[in-house]
Amino acid sequence: MDALPQVAAAVVGATGAYMVYSKRKGLDRDASGGTGASFDGQLAAGVNMLSNKDSVLKRNGVEGSIDAYAALFEGKTGKHSLNGLEGDGQVTSAASIKKRREGYRTMVNNFYDLVTDFYEYGWCQSFHFAPRYKGETFLESIKRAEYHLCSRLGMKPGVRALDVGCGVGGPMRNMAVFSGATIEGITINEYQVTVGNKYCATQGLEATAHLTRGDFQNLPGFREDAAHRLWEGIDYAGEDWTQRFDVAYEIEATCHSPDKARCFAEVARCLKPGGLFAGYEWVVLPERGYDAADARHVAIKEGIEIGNGLPTLATPAQVVAALEEAGFEVLEHGDANANVHDATQIPWYETLDGKMSLSGFRMTRLGRACTHAMVSALEFVRIAPRGTSHVSAMLNATAIDLVEGGKDEIFTPSYFFLARKK
């Protein structure tokens, strides 16, 4: 029994030494060989994630960034907690939505500065959901959803495609390899551009996959005066994407748009006549039971918005109307998760709901709890920046809302559309 304290001290000491070593080593994307950041092992990955030389946030900037993000979700009764929303309806108020629409650049940019590494840590490089069949792994379903877009858009060698809101470019790289098409992605987040292009280089895809920093509400060469062409120090005046692309797609990205008609009109301007545009959109589903007068439904909706940097969730009818207003003919639309609870399918939200697997442990409820405990401990000993545990808590809370919305079939992340530029 007398040996137990010594053993415990040795374990603590070894763990502390490993943390210091990992902190110095840091997150290594250069040596990833195209397979992703150095996220092997729960503790190693966690320390590496929080010791990241690529990050655009200074160590003392995390807390300020999350405070700025939280301020955009203030309602009439004051600031809501990013650890979860009880659902008083204030985030859905016209004033609250207006504030986020006006500040969407700051909101989305801050959000992805904060969460990109958490997403990649648990989700790999494709930050989206997908319909999934029995016998299919999570990552197989993700790639199948991406290849479905390739098929419907006719992507092949010689086709130039635009990825609208590309994240770190996981789907882009998968789709470039699968189809042979050349893909240009755009994201508002500088950090994602840096790491995404690093991955393209390590996979040898510089000629077919590339990320550009910009605003999908105002794509390069957009039709406004020179003052508007200068955004965040990026001068678009010398580059014009008008009618540059044969096809375009978005994967759970334009849910961040404060004005979908404007966003889609910019996509249309960058497409050649007759060009196709396809995507998967996050929406609430009134036709499946979503009720804006139901306090629980509103709480789920608001929790999803807070935890994912959204101005407000649209309905399918609003998405279709925005496409038509932007100059598209909508050829097809419908929920790719319409059969989510069929016996042949695994619900898109199941991994978040705590189903265990060796490959997807970090996405499960238990895995997220372990990650949050680890992050909190690392923040306490000052390896993780202050505020990091709040980011983890926010993502845990929104995962619960996503699960509840999926179980009730009042929300889907995969509302598919296919449209043609008129």
pLDDT of amino acid 240? 86
pLDDT at 391: 67
pLDDT (tens digit, 9 = 90+) per residue, 125-176?
A: 888 999 999 999 888 999 999 999 999 999 999 999 999 999 999 999 999 9
Residue 24 has pLDDT above 70, yes or no: no
How far is CA 20 from each of CA 12, 46, 88, 228, 388, rounded to the nearest angstrom? 12, 13, 44, 46, 18
Radius of gyration for the chain, computed over Cα atoms and rounded to the nearest angstrom? 21
- Residue 94: per-residue pLDDT: 75
The confidence score (pLDDT) of residue 127 equals: 84
Phi-psi region of 220 (alpha: psi -120 to 50; beta: other; left: phi over 0): beta
Q: How far apart are CA 4 and CA 118, in angstroms?
A: 35
Q: Tell me the whole-structure pTM to 2 decimals.
A: 0.80
Assess whether pLDDT exceeds 50 at residue 5: no
The mean pLDDT of 105-116, rounded to a whole number, is 66
pLDDT band at 61 (very low <50, low <70, confident <90, very high): low
Residue for token pair 């992507």: 155
The mean-pLDDT minimum among 64-73, 85-94, 298-307, 333-342 falls in 85-94
DSSP E strand boundaries for 227-292: 230-231, 234-235, 245-251, 271-284
Say which range, 158-162, 183-187, 205-209, 387-391, has the weakest mean pLDDT.
Answer: 387-391
- pLDDT band at residue 360, thresholds of 50, 70 and 90? low
Q: What is the pLDDT of residue 63?
A: 66
Residue 17 has pLDDT above 60, yes or no: no
How much is the average pLDDT of 383-395? Answer: 67
pLDDT at residue 11 above 70? no
Average pLDDT over the chain, rounded to an integer: 78
pLDDT of residue 414: 98
pLDDT in tens, 295-343: 999 999 988 998 888 889 999 999 999 999 999 999 999 999 999 999 9
> Could you identify the residue written with the tokens 């419907």?
152
Q: What is the pLDDT, as a whole number, of residue 126? A: 81
pLDDT digits (tens, 9 = 90+) for 32-57: 444 455 455 555 555 555 556 665 55
Interior angle at CA 329, CA 324 and CA 334, nearest 5: 85
Tell me the domains of the chain and their CATH numbers.
57-422 (3.40.50.150)
Q: What percent of the chain has pLDDT over 70?
A: 59
> What's the pLDDT band for 107 if we cut at 50, 70, 90?
low
Mean pLDDT value of segment 102-130: 72
* Helical segments of 129-213, H only: 138-153, 170-179, 190-202
Q: Considering Cα of 183, then 27, then 83, then 139, what sign does the dihedral take? A: positive
Is pLDDT larger for residue 237 or for residue 327? 327
pLDDT value at position 351? Answer: 82
Comparing 406 with 87, the larger pLDDT belongs to 406
pLDDT for the residue numbered 239: 79
Residue 387 has a pLDDT of 67
Assigned token pair, 387: 């505020």
pLDDT above 60 (res 278): yes
Apex 245 CA angle, 336 and 319, nearest 5: 35
